[in-house]
Structure 1
Amino acid sequence: MALSGLAGALTVTLLNEGVRRVLPHAPRMDVLGERALTAGLEAAGTQPPQGGALYAATLAADLASNTIFYALAGLGGAARAPGVGTALGLVSGVGGAALPPHVGLGHQPDERPQTLLLTVAWYALGGLAAGLVYRAVEGDRERERPNGGA
């Protein structure tokens, strides 16, 4: 399940990091992540990193948390994993698009309606990737077990 979770996390991260460099109103989940990490560390009485160190810490935290989250795509079994992963991604994407202003993180820079739609799409694609990897890896294992894994 960890491999599939990592596939989902990498999909979201690569989409976010790649597209934001070429599309003016691309999702900026990196900025929201930096705000969240800074607020959390300050609330804990710890000085947050600055500049590149903050970016790196946020990227690492995003990859770790998204890996754990997308690993849940396999909970329904290999056959259902792509659908479960996509559903998880859709829910996460809607949350990522709608919740930041309501939890004190503000809006994404240059936010437009298409920014929010792309946010949902990135997370849904991450979930789909996690589910497809899970099905590819675990589906073979299930077929190798006696009684088809039952």
Structure 2
Amino acid sequence: MNFAKSLIAGFAGAAALNILHETMRKFDSEAPRMDLVGEQAVKKSAEAMNVDAPTGKKLYGITLAGDMVTNASYFAAIGMGGRKFMLLRAIGAGISAGIAAVKAPKPMGLNEKHVANSDKREIMTVAYYVFGAIVTAGVLSLMGKKSA
């Protein structure tokens, strides 16, 4: 699969992940809040660069955009290994990204409670990333069938 198609599929997976996250957080008060961890990261980055951190909707928008770009780029790698074992690569990539989302905030000085203060939140966080990765693999599979 070429890089452009992989990146398009990666964006589809990242969008699916974010739609799932945004939907679940509205219906379940115990759902992971990756958005809050992302906003903390944006604020911390702004402070490190001695610039005023965005607030409100601007902070949310910058966080969402950064999340989309990083997840799409990561998920794009799923298609770079060809069609063989693509679903297994997707599951592995999703599990890896989910575990990183759970484990990385604390050593980065961010509040890990938003994604890791309960078994439920940790499992949901990993599951969200697996979902996004599987959507990526599905889109890649459909793209492969259309070009065949």
Please give the alpha-carbon distance, in whole angstroms, between the structure 1 residues aligned to 2:76 and 2:20. Answer: 19
Among 82, 86, 100, the residue aligned to 1:95:
100
1:74 matched residue in structure 2: 79
Contact 1:88–1:124 (Cα < 8 Å) also in 2 = yes
Residues 1-150 of structure 1 aligned to structure 2 (within 5 Å)? 1-109=6-114, 111-141=117-147, 144=148
Q: Please identify, of 60-69 and 106-115, the stretch whose mean Cα deviation from structure 2 is larger.
A: 106-115
Q: Distance in 2 between matches of 1:27 and 1:76?
A: 31
Give the count of matched residue pairs: 142
Give the whole-Å Cα distance in 2 for the aligned partners of 1:26 and 1:63: 19
Stretch of structure 1 that moved more, 28-37 or 110-119 = 110-119
Q: 1:84 deviation in Å?
A: 1.0
Q: What is the TM-score when the length of structure 1 is the normalising length?
A: 0.88
**1:42-84 residue CA offsets vs partner (Å, 9 max, x unmatched):** 1112211011110111011111111111111101112322221
Secondary structure (helix, strand or coil) at the match of 1:103 reads: coil
What is the identity percentage for the equivalent residue pairs of Structure 1 and Structure 2?
Answer: 29
Letter aligned with residue 112 of structure 2: H
Query: Comparing 46-55 with 115-124, which one deviates more in the overlay?
Result: 46-55
TM-score (norm 2): 0.89
Q: CA deviation at 1:138?
A: 2.2
Greater gyration radius: 1
C-alpha contact (below 8 Å) 2:37/2:114 kept by paired residues: no
Other structure's SS at 1:101 match: coil
Which residues of structure 1 form unaligned runs of 5+?
145-150
Amino acid at match of 2:26: R
